[in-house]
Amino acid sequence: MGLTDRWARKMDGREKKIGRGQQMNILAIGAHPDDLEIFAYGFLAAAAARGDNLMLGVATDGAAGGPNPGPELARRRADEAHNGVAALGKPVLLNLPDGQLANAPDAREVITHFIRSAAPDLVITHAPEDYHPDHRALSAFVSDAAGFICPVLFCDTLMGVGFTPDFYVDISPHFTAKQNAIMAHHSQSPARFASASAIMNRFRAAQCNAPDGHYAEAYRMARRFPFADIRDLLPPPPPYRPFYVPGSDALI
């Protein structure tokens, strides 16, 4: 059975079918208070613009992410987390220990409860090969929690290292909002992350032959039955631009 136009899953005995043009429940969970902004803000803004319902989560308290770690930093980062995604919704802060997610005794239970109680149609989280141990641990917890309830989509890694995309999402209309969201995290010297994000998002758009001024985020799906093809669930890619056509607005 093909999944081009729709896919189906069972939830509480009821079949739920999601297809092109239908509202979805999308859950995105990042390891730290600024991760959703850096890695997935464009996708989430595009999904919100088409009418999807967003559920946002932050796994750790961010207390280790600075030169003065501790409770005060955690409180500051909680405020920044709310400010960063304010245009998209109110994040749920799970307050698991920053830098120790893999070994936190209740991490698996907390993350699993958060995901399953939300009953999402799609979950977005970090790639299992990303640079930070908390990112890798969260990726594993989320994949196990989602099981075959819904598909899992992995964000690009930091600067794309070791990441091979399956999908590209055009975030050009939302790029400025994404940059502003990253800059809301004042405790993190955010200009460096905004700059790195701009480089990555421009590069991913350039891979699609999009000209200057266009931006994209890249994603990869967790390939497992029954989620063989989920392109129809995602916001649109950059427009198709053939190579070396006179008069085209393409990069090349």
Q: Tell me the CA distances in angstroms from 209 to 80, 129, 204, 242, 251, one per residue in order.
A: 35, 27, 9, 8, 5
Q: Decide: helix, strand or coil at residue 58.
A: strand
238-247: pLDDT as tens digits: 999 999 999 8
pLDDT given for residue 22 in this prediction: 78
Q: pLDDT category, 9, cuts 50, 70, 90? A: very low
Cβ 112 vs Cβ 119: under 8 Å: no
State mean pLDDT over 55-77: 95
The average confidence (pLDDT) of the chain is 93
pLDDT given for residue 130 in this prediction: 98
pLDDT given for residue 67 in this prediction: 86
pLDDT given for residue 111 in this prediction: 98
State mean pLDDT over 80-86: 98
| Identity of residue 31 | A
pLDDT given for residue 5 in this prediction: 35
The alpha carbons of the chain give a radius of gyration, in whole angstroms, of: 18
Q: Which domains does the chain have, with CATH numbers?
A: 23-225 (3.40.50.10320)
User: Could you give the percent of the chain with pLDDT greater than 70?
Assistant: 92
Nearest residue to 201 (alpha-carbon basis) of 215, 213, 218 = 215
Q: pLDDT category, 1, cuts 50, 70, 90? A: very low
First CA to last CA across the chain, in angstroms?
38
E-state strands within 61-210: 92-96, 122-125, 152-155, 167-170
For 77, list phi and psi in degrees, rounded to 5.
-70, -30
92-117: pLDDT as tens digits: 999 999 999 999 999 999 999 999 99
Crossing angle for the helix pair 175-183 and 190-207, nearest 10 degrees? 160
The model's pTM: 0.92
